[in-house]
Structure 1
Amino acid sequence: MVITACTLDKIDYEAELATAIPQAYEFEEVVLIESNGYRIEIEALNGTFYKGYNELHFTVTNMSNNQTVDDAAITWLPIRQLNTAAYSCPHSYNVLYDATNGYYSGYSVFDYESGLEGTWEFYMSVEINGELFTIQQGIEVMAQPNMNLNMTTFTGADGISYYIALVAPVSPSVAENDLVAGIYQYNQPEEPAGVFPDPSQFSFSEVQGATVLLDPRMPEASMGNHSSPNNEDLTQMTEGLYHGVVNYTMTGNWTLNFMFLDADGNLLAGTEVPTDFTPGIEGAKSELYIDILF
């Protein structure tokens, strides 16, 4: 009887996923700049800046000899202009060289798409052999078509602004999936603003030592808000991202319900979801959650 209730009037999610999730995820050029005799290329997945987590690859080439520069000091600061106000988002300000892969590696977690309500640009400084030059350029941030890479923002009980952005899985399977997320906080400036754009006014950092309790549910009325076994809460690994396990037992709309605990175990956000099976009734959600489509 439970299985029958869960499969009545089931949407053809396989067909929906085929159009909703891009099938190719390769790093491609999204920005190319030539300045001061150097060519700077920024790559992102599918050659697009998306709302949510974006891994970024930077390469710097000396145009006089076509040699790659591996000892540049690079900073990256994305800014969103909203009327007369300026905001940023979680990002790696100092971009570090990855000798194994041959590029500088960074990230941005864009929390809004580009549009009439706000536009994005970035400010970059590059120092090579004591020569410093700066770059300012507008960029476009697109909607993320893959709901498995959604994000959320919230204010914790401590008054700090937090961001949770899903990184993986990109294309889940009916199985126990490794769940990866970036978790960040906004660092309130301690000093008045200097010359714009003053990085101290747009400072973000990875949240250290938190735990995110995970309770995945299928909230549609036909699904009864059922969960699944063998899930694992999100904890931080050495590279800074948070890892856990989410067990998807079928395709469909899922909600990842969270309870966010700081390094001391204090609950800063989220609520426990009732365990009742509620066929015919839309399921309850935590106050902190991310909807996905698998």
Structure 2
Amino acid sequence: MKKNIWLTLWALSLITLFTTGCNSDDETPTPTIAYQKIAEGTADGTDIKVEVYSTEELTTGYNPIYIALFDATGKRIEQATVSFKPLMDMGTMKHASPIENPTSNQAQDGYFPGAVVFTMPSGDMGSWILDVQVQANGKTGTLTAPVTIKEPATSRLKSLVSATDGTRYYIALLQPQKPKIGINDMEVAMYKRNSMMDFPAVTNLTIALEPEMPTMGHGSPNNVNPTHSGNGHYKGKVNFTMTGLWYLNLTLNDATGEAGKLYFEVNF
């Protein structure tokens, strides 16, 4: 009797082992990003549901945007072409802003990631809409969604007019987001205004970084100037030797000379 019970338990343990092993291989990884839905609706002329997500409230500057698509049955669409078109309506004029469309037609963990760089907040000056165009399942349509853009407590977007050729540049600070004492990743994204509707990435500038602690009158050693890493993004390193208010002084240079200077504030 005891032998039969032992054999039964042994068989059950083997079944459990193989069952859990097979299931774990089929599980979809759980996304680690905390998504916040900012808009949803059906793309016009289609039955494709579009959901628009961000990682936090939309602000002036660089905003990662994630798109989820569903067919008429509610099944998630994993292959599609997605593009963005932000538009600020100021009454007497309209303008767009820099964008980074999703680079792959394949969803990542169920989402199509891109970014929009909103150049001004919503308010008395005007209002923003975000068009999301999708091509999937042989259908093409656009979701038009109003979005509210706030001004962050500390600016993460600067603009300047080049001293060499009059080009207007937009510079967005991406990193550091959670600064700490020591070496931090630093990243900025650069764009220029070709027209009120065209803001391509800038890939040919050089950037000199000089951190400064204005209240203490010193900088820091061991910094690495941001260099172009692709798609208008420039990556480097900044060294914070203590907590407090820091200026990240940047000098921009093009092929003919110094285009201009600017700084971002980092306070922690």
Task: Please classify the TM superposition score into its range, dividing by the shorter chain length.
Answer: 0.7 to 0.9
- 8 Å Cα contact 2:38-2:147 kept in structure 1: no
Q: Deviations over 1:17-55 (max 9, x none)?
A: xxxxxxxx8332111223432221111112x21111111
Aligned counterpart, 1:134: 142
Structure 1 position 241 matched with structure 2 position 233: yes
Q: Once the two structures are superposed, what CA deviation does each residue of 1:104-153 show, in whole Å capped at 9, x if it has no partner?
A: 121111121111112111223222344222232211012224x3x71201
Residue 94 (structure 1) shift: 6.2
- Please say if residues 98 and 105 of structure 1, whose CA atoms lie closer than 8 Å, have aligned partners that are also in contact: no
Question: Is the counterpart of residue 289 in structure 1 residue 263 in structure 2?
Answer: yes
Which of 145, 152, 162 is the aligned partner of 1:156?
162
Show the counterpart of 2:53.
Answer: 43
Task: Give the number of equivalent residue pairs.
Answer: 233
- In the superposition, the TM-score normalised over structure 1's length comes to 0.73
Supply the RMSD in Å over aligned alpha carbons: 2.1
Which structure has the larger Rg? 2
- Matched residue SS, 1:49: coil
Q: Percent identity?
A: 29
Q: Which residues in structure 2 correspond to 1:112-261 (within 5 Å)?
A: 112-145=120-153, 147=154, 150-157=156-163, 158-188=165-195, 202-220=197-215, 223-224=216-217, 226-238=218-230, 240-261=232-253
Contact residue 40 and residue 59 of structure 1 kept, 8 A:
yes
For the Cα contact (< 8 Å) 2:120–2:149, is it kept in 1?
A: yes
Cα distance change on mapping 1:137 and 1:37 into 2, 3 Å? same
Secondary structure, counterpart of 1:228 in structure 2: coil
C-alpha separation in 2, matches of 1:178 and 1:98: 29
Query: What's the counterpart of residue 36 of structure 2?
Result: 28
Q: Distance in 2 between matches of 1:202 and 1:93?
A: 15
TM-score, structure 2 normalization:
0.80
1:26/1:100 CA distance change after superposition, 3 Å: closer
Which amino acid in structure 1 is aligned with residue 202 of structure 2? V
Structure 1 residue aligned with 2:30? none
Residue 178 of structure 1, CA deviation: 0.8
CA 1:176 to 1:265, structure 2 compared with 1: closer, same or farther past 3 Å?
farther
User: How many angstroms apart in 2 are the aligned matches of 1:72 and 1:99?
Assistant: 8
Which position in structure 2 is the counterpart of 1:56?
A: 65
CA displacement 1:202-221 (0-9 Å, x = unmatched): 1121111322101111123x
List structure 1 runs of 4+ shifted beyond 4 angstroms: none
Match of 2:78? 70
Once the 2 structures are TM-superposed, how far is the Cα of residue 59 of structure 1 from its aligned partner? 1.2
Q: 1:50 is aligned with what amino acid?
A: T
- Residue by residue over 1:69-93, the C-alpha shift from the partner in whole angstroms, topping out at 9 and shown as x without a partner, is 2332322111111121101211125
Output the amino acid matched with 2:64. E
Which runs of 5 or more residues in structure 2 are unaligned? 1-32
Structure 1 CA distance, aligned partners of 2:259 and 2:59?
Answer: 28
Structure 1 pair 209–184 and aligned structure 2 pair: CA distance change class (3 A):
same
Provide the residue aligned with 1:276 in structure 2: none
